[in-house]
Amino acid sequence: MSESTRGIPRREFMKAAVAIGGSAALSACLDRGGMPDVPKGPSDLSTLPERQHAWNRFLATDDHGNNVAARHKILLFLNYRGDGTPTDAERETVERSLRSLERAYKRGHDGLLFSIGYSPSYFERFGATDVLPKPKALASFEDPKLDEQDAVVQLESDHPQLVLAAEEALLGNRDELNGVDVSGVTDVFEKADRRTGFVGDGLPADHQDVNGIPDSNPVPEDAPLYMGFKSGFKKNQASEDRITIQDGPFAGGTTQHISNIELHLDQWYEQDSRDQRVGKMFCPVHAEEGKVEGVGNNLGDSSEMTDECIDHVEDHARERGMVGHSQKAAGARKDDSPVILRRDFDSTDGGKAGLHFVAFQRTIEDFESTRTAMNGDDLAGNSSVGQRLNNGILQYMTVTRRGNFLVPPRSLRSLPTPNPT
């Protein structure tokens, strides 16, 4: 960040600072916009939820009751520095750091939201191979790199300064946040990777000067995601109860799947018509009946996947030569409810338009079954729908990375053993 950045609009500047990261980016961010006046967290941390993933009550809602995600995101991947298994002293170091963040900022979209999860590789150091499945390719046309770092911290806030400051605190580069003494985790962990992004009306349009999006700047000004439509409708999301592990040593926790997806939107915006985009994103019926206005805010609290869409997906493949992404995903419901909770976001990491697909669910198998439904393999071959062509939105994306993590309940979040007591 330099004097040359002075001419960059504030919103674009702040997003760029999060993407760059580090002390210099944070300093530039503070120089440009100052630190927001955010209340501290509670003095009694026992008042916070036991579930790390219990974020919904701390998010804003729109006019239809849909949760509105925090706008700026960082995924900080960490590797354990030690050999063998962690010590109690190291657990205390990590817990002290996480508690200092909770004391520094109130939990919320306009404060700070965070969680920490652990990979199958982490648990293998204890000789445990059955805590959760390893990541793998989930379609015949995928060849993703597999994320096997020990842990991942997800940081979110509407304020870019806060996610940067929290990251710097975890990495031991700050000893004070919001008047609270904070400490880092670098005696225990080393940084392995960081990924960043954003979600929310206007942010994708502000950041469409990247590979994967045509030069015509086609992303609608009010779109919350690069593909131009709203997602995360309340009735299309699993509840936090539904994704919570019910029994066993990590009851009260959840599992997290993180994919990195590159987007290829030239045809999406320059060859496909709006009706084709609506049909592929939602359902051909939505296009034929003009159900989707603009980015889809008129749909309310669901994507309106009626029986006309869900029960006739094979008919649509055969007769209309196209099926919708939401139409296929609706087939993965259990007891008429979704099984995954999406908290995904767009990204410009590496100068490419991308999506960090972050999903929480009770078991990794719930995610895999949802992804199998999205693949629509059963629809390809018996119609003009191909394995990826006209098969929802598959032809516009490439999965480059996949990782699975266990997000323990808050009381077990610091370097857990496979069988905590």
Is 200:11 a contact under the CB 8 Å cutoff?
no
Supply the pLDDT for residue 107. 98
**Among 32, 30, 147, 27, residue whose Cα is nearest residue 78:** 147
The pair of three-digit structure tokens given for residue 87, joined into one six-digit string: 């010590």
38 is a domain residue: yes
Q: How does pLDDT run along the chain (421 residues), one tens digit per residue?
A: 544 555 666 666 776 788 888 777 777 777 777 789 999 999 999 999 999 999 999 999 999 999 999 999 999 999 999 999 999 999 999 999 999 999 999 999 999 999 999 999 999 999 999 999 999 999 999 999 999 999 999 999 999 999 999 999 999 999 999 999 999 999 999 999 999 999 999 999 999 999 999 999 999 999 999 999 999 999 999 999 999 999 999 999 999 999 999 999 999 999 999 999 999 999 999 999 999 999 999 999 999 999 899 999 999 999 999 999 999 999 888 888 999 999 999 999 999 999 999 999 999 999 999 999 999 998 887 778 999 999 999 999 999 999 999 999 999 999 999 998 7
Three-class SS state of 154: strand
328 is a domain residue: no
Supply the pLDDT for residue 333. 87
62 is a domain residue: yes
103 is a domain residue: yes
Supply the pLDDT for residue 5. 55
Which residue type occupies 258? I
Supply the pLDDT for residue 3. 46
**Among 267, 18, 301, 17, residue whose Cα is nearest residue 155:** 18
CA angle 238–122–401, rounded 5-degree value: 60
Is 219:266 a contact under the CB 8 Å cutoff?
no
207 is a domain residue: yes
289 is a domain residue: no
- Other beta carbons within 10 Å of 268: 24
69 is a domain residue: yes
Would you mind telling me the total number of residues written for the chain in this entry? 421
129 is a domain residue: yes
- Describe the crossing of helices 22-33 and 160-170 by its angle, rounded to 10 degrees: 150
Residues of the domain holding 203: 10-45+58-211
Domain total in the chain: 1
Supply the pLDDT for residue 221. 96
